[in-house]
Structure 1
Amino acid sequence: MVYKYVHGGDIYSVQANRPGDYLDFSVNVNPLGLPEAVKAAVAAATEECRNYPDPFCRELRAALAGWEKINWDDIFCGNGASEIIFRLALAIKPRKALLLAPTFADYARALQTVGCGIEYYDLRAETEFRVREDYSAYLTREIDMAVICNPNNPTGQLCSKAFLKRVLAECREKNIFVLVDECFMDFTDHPEKYSVREYLKDCPNLIILKAFTKLYAMAGIRLGYALTVNRDVLDRLKLCGPDWAVSSLAQAAGICALRQEDYVQQSKLLVQTEREFLIRELTALGLKVFGSRANYIFFLTEGVPDLSQKLLAKGIIIRSCADYLKLNPCFYRVAVKTREENRTLINRIKDVIQHESRAGCD
């Protein structure tokens, strides 16, 4: 089997093959960038690098407990959300799991490492890639684990709290673990209407996944965490990987990031404004936008083949969704960035469309 990288953000390969300056819309991180205070905290933490990091992330978990309004004993910290997904697969070792299609690739990759069979619930373009009420029919007694990305990546569609409450109740009755990935939840409007955090205390089968990667633009630092009241799962997570998965630098970055309240509010306002701008402009260009309730836009373009390659030639990197299950090369995802960067993207897409239109008339 040949390994293939299937995520956005690999600007290194792009520059290795075609050196130059690029605007990278393929990775969905905060357009404001890493907060200055966090940079300073990381620099200061280098003074302690001679010591091993705290294996229990005590100070970080205490800060997260205040942020999430839960008990600090219900928090597990890891080397990014993806690392925790792989740990969960090893900790739970489900025999069969139910995944959405399309959704984030690492759920399937992690589950396959433990020999887990996978069933897929297809999201359909004709219903705007939303999870439908018939989802419950797929929660059979054979399923050990269900994974719901909320908002979903790459579609940006949300599941309501009421819907998820019904799913959680049904899964608890059938002994099904439920992983709800809320890594992009902080970018949605009114996240309290969609997050299932308040159900944690009554749902030992619930695990919520979150990360610092997106909201604080910390993709290179690698810091994520899981929330659950299930003590057995928490203990198994600790056993399924090294004790020092979270570096001293990452812990310092996370502790400092949670204090940046003004930055968070400014970020949410910017993303909301620029998300609306991109949706409006892409629609005006004749592209079909779906969902897109977080800090990325998911759209379909037909009649413009190889859009990502044509934009690459113009210094723009976007995420082709051709390698997502159930999607074809006409689907793309772009990050929400600053107004200047977003205008550049729109203008470059407009140039490609106009060129294709002229070529079609020749």
Structure 2
Amino acid sequence: MEYQHGGDIYTNCVTMDYSANINPLGLPEGVREAVYRAADQCFCYPDSQSAALRRKLSEFHNVSAETIICGNGAADLIFQVVSAVRPKEALLIAPSFLEYEQALHSVSCNITYYGLKEEYGFALREQELIAWIEESSRSFQMLFLCNPNNPTGYALKKEQLKVLLDYCRKKHIYLVIDECFNEFLEDPQKYSVLEFLRADSCKQVFLLKAFTKIYAMAGIRLGYGICNDSSTLERIHHIRQPWSVSSIAQAAGEAALEERAYVEASRSLIAREREYLKESLTALGFLVYDSMANYIFFKDIRAEALEEEKLLYHQLLEKRVLIRSCANYRGLDSTYYRICVKQRKENDEFLSVLKFILTERK
């Protein structure tokens, strides 16, 4: 089976991985120490309810612990909420994260796609989406929304999200909002629906968050959902594996929530280096889109890139550099790519290789 995501360092021989959007500061030291301590208790089963972690998340987000559910990464929870709701008709934005489609197929759901427009920079316009749904006369039971979107990196402000929340509530559409990259935005609260979920009236909304990206914990596997709909959470508890979140992951999550200075430093670094990479890629002749997270979405507009499939991907891989081809995203082709944002030294090394490739082809 072909690897479908970034981070494929297992089947590729690489020295530089720019395909996975992980915090370049690496695992926080406090989390590392918590993992070591938790390893000494691995002879015990983990708490199947993740009670201590949920209490800390409750304080961290100022929501009830009863509205929080933890999982083996956000992907685990995507499959769980789909299995709990079991929609017959769902709407997906394209391009967007691949797991939504896989989860919906697992319950034999019929999927309709709303394509983002290149002339808008692949930015979602909420009023146009609503008008399109109305004109389609389809009865959707579920809508997934990734904010900021993966792979484009564009984020909707909370006022725009509120329009979609209100519409979905009126139409009885279960809305799943994925905010796994929200913490990398320069002002995360401006783009989050969290304040709306603090109101009990905000039902049929499932908010996805994860420790994976912002705390560089991809290998630990820890995500969580926030949902005011107790019936959905109850159905998830009936179908989920009881020990899907390891004791090490729970301890790591509790420690990560204390790393506030680390998150601020990460956000500052990403903002600075994202603009540096955008400017550098633009100067090299690529078409760069307005990514707002810790990754950059761009298009290879060289004439030869239209003739040779995944040209830039293969050119870089020959130099042992891995980037994310977006060819398997619906609505994109092999000229679109995504790269992560790292620290300046690494970014300069990456750009040096890229410049060499472009010069070599001339």
The answer to whether the aligner puts 1:134 opposite 2:128 as a matched pair is yes
**Matched residues in 1 for 2:97 and 2:167: separation?**
24
Matches within 5 A, 1:62-211: 62-132=55-125, 133-139=127-133, 140=137, 142-200=139-197, 201=199, 202-211=201-210
- AA in 1 matched with 2:280: E
The aligned counterpart of 1:236 is 235
Report the alpha carbon displacement of residue 123 of structure 1 after superposing the two structures with TM.
0.7
**Aligned partner (choices 6, 11, 14) of residue 4 of structure 2:** 6
**Of 70-79 and 162-171, the range deviating more from structure 2:** 162-171
Aligned-partner Cα distance in 1 for 2:3–2:89: 25
Q: What is the CA-CA distance between 1:354 and the residue it aligns to? A: 1.4
CA distance in 2, matches of 1:291, 1:96: 31
Asked if structure 1 preserves the Cα contact closer than 8 Å seen for 2:287 and 2:301, the reply is no
Q: Secondary structure at the match of 1:208?
A: strand
CA–CA distance in 1 between the matches of 2:316 and 2:163? Answer: 43
Structure 1: distance between partners of 2:38 and 2:91: 41
Aligned to 2:10, what secondary structure does the other structure show? helix
TM-score by length of 1: 0.95
Give the secondary structure class of the aligned counterpart of 1:64.
helix
Aligned-partner residue type, residue 137 of structure 1: A
1:156 Cα offset (Å): 0.4
Q: Following superposition, which runs of at least 4 residues in structure 1 exceed 2 angstroms of deviation?
A: 137-141
State the secondary structure of the residue aligned to 1:11: coil
Q: Is the 8 A contact 2:184 2:267 kept in 1?
A: yes
The 2-side partners of 1:106 and 1:352 are apart by 33
The 2-side partners of 1:207 and 1:93 are apart by 14
SS of aligned partner of 2:334: coil
By how many angstroms is 1:141 displaced? 5.2
Distance 1:307 1:235 in 2: 47
Query: How far apart are the structure 1 equivalents of 2:172 and 2:143?
Result: 11
- Tell me what 1:18 maps to: none
Query: Does the 8 Å contact 1:147/1:179 carry over to 2?
Result: yes
Paired residue type of 1:42: V
Q: Which amino acid aligns with 1:11?
A: I
- The CA deviation string for residues 215-254 of structure 1, in whole angstroms up to 9 with x for no partner, is 0000000000000110011111112221111000000000
CA distance in 2, matches of 1:5, 1:178: 28
Q: TM-score, normalised by structure 2?
A: 0.95
Contact 1:79/1:224, CA 8 A, preserved across alignment: yes
Counterpart of 1:39 in structure 2 is 32
Distance 1:288 1:66 in 2: 42
Q: 1:30 aligns with which of 5, 23, 36?
A: 23
- Counterpart of 2:211? 212
- d(CA) in 2 for partners of 1:69 and 1:110? 30
Shift of 1:84: 0.5
Q: Percent identity?
A: 45
Structure 2 CA distance for aligned equivalents of residues 119 and 5 of structure 1: 24
Q: Deviations over 1:173-230 (max 9, x none)?
A: 1111000100000001111111011111231111110000000000000000000110
**Within-5 A mapping of 1:262-277:** 262-277=261-276
The match for 1:278 is 277
> What are the Cα deviations for residues 78-106 of structure 1, in whole angstroms up to 9, with x where unaligned?
00000110111111100111111000000
Q: Quote the residue 2:308 is aligned against.
A: none
Partner of 1:319: 324
Q: Is the 8 A contact 1:141 1:174 kept in 2?
A: no
Output the aligned Cα RMSD: 1.1
Instruction: Give how far 1:315 is off.
Output: 2.0
Matched residues in 2 for 1:210 and 1:341: separation?
28
The aligned length equals: 350
Which position in structure 2 is the counterpart of 1:301? Answer: 300
How far apart are residue 138 of structure 1 and its match?
3.8
CA contact (8 A) 2:147 2:177 kept: yes
CA distance in 2, matches of 1:289, 1:228: 35
| In 1, Cα distance between equivalents of 2:118 and 2:170 | 31
